[in-house]
Amino acid sequence: MAIDLVLADPHPVVLDGLLHIFQNMDGFSVKSCATDAESALKAVMEFKPDVLITELILQNKTGLVLIEEIQKKALKTHAVVFTGACIRDVCKAIDLGVQGMVSKDKPKHVLAQCIQSVYAGKKWLDKDLTLHTLTHLLDKKTIHASLPEVLTAREMVVAKMVSEGLPNKKIAQNLYITEGTTKLHLHHIYQKLNCPGRVALALHIQSNGLN
């Protein structure tokens, strides 16, 4: 059975290339192509593909917003990010829990392998891309502040739970607070630490022996 795909990229030449690749590769079926997030979302809702392949930089809305909208609508389509986007956007995509991510400098068989793994229910993240992202966060010292000096006791607890991989709902249950309050704590933590997201926060906690 072929894996149904919707392709989203702001550049028509890239879309044509991806379309050509998957039309001529066994095991895949392209249902629609889109250069903007709104068209991509409509295509996902109409065709209900197994996998959406999307760039993070799209017309009118970002790929991040597109992925969030798919998650909010509880659609069964899995997102594979195929990108050349900046590190901050890659961090945000990881925080959203994307199941697949491939850098645009990788050959077509790597992208195909990623799609097949995600379709099988597995997570497949480009090791070079994620390693480069995490290394950049450390080398450039994206996070400048020391947690104990700037965070409240409650914020420290929330930050450590994030480093343990707990989702907002579980953190809220453990602390007997609402998810809204949990999100507010995280918002304050990110602002105080100049932190781009959960992955960077967890990395900072681990690298400083605070977990």
Instruction: Decide: 33 and 19 in contact? Cβ < 8 Å.
Output: yes
Query: How far lies 183's CA from each of 33, 75, 104, 128, 153, in Å?
Result: 35, 23, 33, 30, 16
DSSP of 149-206: HHS-HHHHHHHHHHHTT--HHHHHHHHT--HHHHHHHHHHHHHHHT--SHHHHHHHHH
Question: The whole model's pTM is what?
Answer: 0.67
The 8-class DSSP code of residue 120 comes to T
Question: Chain-wide mean pLDDT for the chain?
Answer: 85
pLDDT tens figures, 107-163: 999 999 999 999 999 988 887 776 666 555 555 444 445 556 678 888 888 888 888
- How confident is the model at residue 167, as a pLDDT? 87
Instruction: Report which of residues 22 and 97 the model is more confident about.
Output: 22
Among all chains, which residue has been given the structure tokens 């995509």?
Answer: 93
pLDDT tens figures, 68-116: 999 999 899 999 999 886 666 777 787 788 889 898 888 999 999 999 9
Distance between CA atoms of 193 and 163, rounded to whole angstroms? Answer: 15
Asked if pLDDT for residue 174 goes beyond 50, the answer is yes
